Amino acid sequence: MNFKELCEQRYSVRSYKPEAIPQEKLDYIMECVRLAPSAVNKQPWHFTIYTNETDKQKIQQCYGREWIQEAPAYIVAYALTDEAWTRRYDEKNHADIDVTIAIEHLCLAAAEQGLGTCWVCNFRIQLFRELFELPENQNPIAIIPIGYPSQNVVPEKVRKEINEIWTIK
Ligand SMILES: Cc1cc2nc3c(=O)[nH]c(=O)nc-3n(C[C@H](O)[C@H](O)[C@H](O)COP(=O)(O)O)c2cc1C
């Protein structure tokens, strides 16, 4: 599978089999995450893989859609804001950008391994912070449910036309 085929294959999976993720697949995916680039190579991230019911239920409280309950695991991507590079000209902290790149490594690596994922950012962030008692510098960027897709779906890619998104000057 070439990279374009992988991009076509990845889609937001919202229906999962209960089967656990094999450890070697998880190791492979997290190695791909580890190799992601970051500003000044600061790697200001931490990923926690939640498989226990107590934590999974807390996450479900923060994102009330039923479909997420099917996934055997959730990976939460945390930005460690005080470890990130900050651009001195405007004080822009790059933690979110860095973590976002690493998350997409995760999603693409998972798709290559036959696993489904879905970015979830529309969760109750304040409740999440309280339930997991997060320190101020640890910012949950996305919840990524992960598992085997329960259906064989040909992803429908609704996208802007190619000539709408780039120009040569
Ligand atoms: C930053 C970001 C946040 C997202 N948040 C959610 C979310 O909270 N819930 C959800 O169901 N999908 C979420 N998505 C998935 C998008 O809806 C999806 O990527 C988009 O519709 C394109 O579809 P595809 O991923 O199947 O190609 C999010 C995607 C991104 C990149």
Backbone angles phi, psi at 89, to 5 degrees: -70, -30
Whether residue 15 is contained in a domain is answered as no
The answer to whether the CB of 12 is under 6 A from ligand 1 is yes
The answer to whether the CB of 61 is under 6 A from ligand 1 is no
Whether residue 89 is contained in a domain is answered as yes
**Positive/negative CA dihedral, 145, 147, 152, 154:** positive
Whether residue 163 is contained in a domain is answered as no
Ligand 1: atom nearest CA of 122 is 8
Whether residue 83 is contained in a domain is answered as yes
Domain count, the chain: 1
Whether residue 9 is contained in a domain is answered as no
Distance CA 157, CA 159 (A): 6
| Parent domain of 127 | 28-146
Whether residue 167 is contained in a domain is answered as no
pLDDT per residue as tens digits for the range 74-114:
999 999 999 999 999 999 999 999 999 999 999 999 999 99
Whether residue 54 is contained in a domain is answered as yes
Distance CA 119, CA 133 (A): 22
Q: Identify the CATH number of the domain in which residue 108 sits.
A: 3.40.109.10
pLDDT per residue as tens digits for the range 21-77:
999 999 999 999 999 999 999 999 999 999 999 999 999 999 999 999 999 999 999
